[in-house]
Structure 1
Amino acid sequence: MASIPQGQRPELLGRVETGKDAVTGVFAIANEEAVISTSEDKTVKVWVKRDNGQYWPSIIQSFEASCSALEYGPDSDGHFAFIGLSNGQIHEFHLSTDLNRFEKKRVYQSHSSRVTSIKVVPKHNWILSAGRDKRFQWSCTRTGRDLGSHDALAWCLAVEYDETSKYGFVADYSGVITVLRLTESGFASVTTLKGHTSSVWALAYDSERRILFSGGFDQTIVVWDIGSQKGTAYELTGHNGKIRSLAYSTITRKLISTSEDGMLGVWDMDAEREETTEWGGSNVCEKCNVPFFWNVKGMWDNKTIGVRQHHCRKCGRAICASCSDQLSTYPRMGFEKPVRMCQDCHSSLTTDDRSPMASFINMKSIVTSLHLVHTLGHMVTASEDKQIKIWDVNPMMMNH
């Protein structure tokens, strides 16, 4: 069974001191030693590495409201950037190849409050966006025309897209992920994905295998197999704080996660895994038959006091505390930290069953945004210490 070695730290290549306001988005600029970032200070900046090794801004563009979301990519004659603002607007810019000119192309009046996420689909000339106005919006980047919108029941927080099916994925504050089939003239509801117990703030997508990753404030990452259309899903648990960002590498098939525990997780998504077991329901312990505390008849018949119900995370049986007093990791099912198991399941585990499929690295600060440069094996992060850092993640990503 493949496992990621523990303690494979990325190598720090560069650092940018951004100032006193929070960075809300960051991307490494393609084929350049440069970074583009947005901030609550109402600016977007392009940072270029100088001869002395330090990063200095070549462009500072100011706006009338805080910059709350960023989408970036290369195009035929330079680079595109979409900046979402706290007032609901999205500004489209063209960045020149020399990184010295930033030309405004269009303003989209997409939302009535803070823009939380932007996704550009160059193949269809679409821009998808989410906002705190509880709206998911998509528009045409050729004409600027609004193509459609979907109103959710809670703040929309993150968006992703599958080109094969034209599915748009919208994560919201209630923990629900809505799946919509998008067209030039509207949408069709496909399904809702319910696997989190609190807000979903991060999405990532494996376009090759058509797998969606979602990270929530419940400290859990859920892996959704969209391509199989079988409803298969399993959890990844290893963080001890809210999930803040996700990124996936199709080259190494590794998932990167960051959390409010200050840790960066690297998950091997090429390993064989098992779907999360559904929890059983019972009025008595399925191993020793002691009644649970709500089972009044069972307590009366057995002249005993009812106990609290627990579940074995491996087999899903409803059991009492005495029959589930064992703890173990079980990475095949996504449990990288010890979870409750019944005695039977615990005794059946081998050393190989406990072999980790993820590693966790202390980043010394909470990473709120990250971008992977797959071809170079580089990563750029923005964190709560108001710093942007550029990393070489090849040792961390390539080892098994």
Structure 2
Amino acid sequence: MRLGVEVAPVTRGTLREAIEAQGRVELGFGSAVCISAPFSGIVRHITRQEGDSVRRGDPLLELEAPELANWRGDGRKAAQLVQLRRAQMERFTSLKGLTISARTVDEAIAQWEQACLTQWIIQEKLNWVSRTAAQPEDDPSRTTQLGVGPRPMSASSQFLPPSEHSSGGDPLLSLHSPLDGRVLSCFVGPGQHVVAGQPLMTVGDPNQLMLTVWIRPEDVSRVRPGQQVIFQHSGHVTPDRGEVVAVSPLIDERTRLVAVWTTLDPAEKENHVGTAGRAEILIAEERDVIMVPESAIHWEGDCFVVFVRDLDFDQLPYKVFHVRKVRIGRKTWHGGQEMREILAGLLPGEVVATTRSFVLRGALLEERLGAGCAEHND
């Protein structure tokens, strides 16, 4: 047509009611761990670099910490004191009633138990270091109990003997990977001084990804776990899919939006952390719905109208479009374009003006289409 008006048929399709929002690919919950320095010290050696694959228990770096040397030295001294107090207790017990009074024996037992308690406290501190460093668990057979004595041991008398790391006050601490994955980032270098709590490395599994979708607070009540999510970004021609896992109970103070966490099917395609795109959370799906392109709908002040092509459009010497009042419903995306549900006023197979149909509306306002075309009784 000379006016450049394009047309499209009224069709039936599947209407998907969805919440549209921005989404971002992130590492899944528990799939990334930040390794921090348990003590202040100096980084002596880095075993794994950024991007390297690691298995659980692999060494990552070595830290020299004087405070750790003190703890290990205290553990060695505490172990020696336990042995000394036990020998004294056993000797006094054997002489009880002869040259040693019962009170002296009780004091020796109390001193031995106090020494055991002190060593247990120090060993618990060293065990905390091992857990923080994600070191492989020790052989359970190495856990023993000092059960030699004249009476049953109390709970305070049980302890773990110091490991080989705690002997001699060794200041070196090897930090290990807590999971299988890759070194995602490394924040320090050899010879660098670090303080307790400072991040050293981030280790994560890049195969365990999730999608965070930011929605408006008024849409939260419509979102439920298990709803399907479609994620589209420029890196993939076809969209990725997932399901809603949880909705955050908090509103972001900066954006005033609410986070929705969803799965991201790893079998679909390879995604990268930080990828952003458009996400749709499907709220409802209805089949066999009458719909037209959104560009065909016009507001006439008190109702919505479309321009319907005459049935004899190709045979007539002049081209006629009829104004038709319609009742519209929900909006959706179908076939790559924005569509609008038609509740009343159109039948499948009819042809309506779409792109540049505003030209016809302008002509209608100027009363150039004629009274016969402008009038229509439903």
> Structure 2-normalised TM-score?
0.22
- Determine which structure has the larger strand proportion and give its number: 1
Max radius of gyration: which structure?
A: 2
Q: Larger % of helix: which?
A: 2
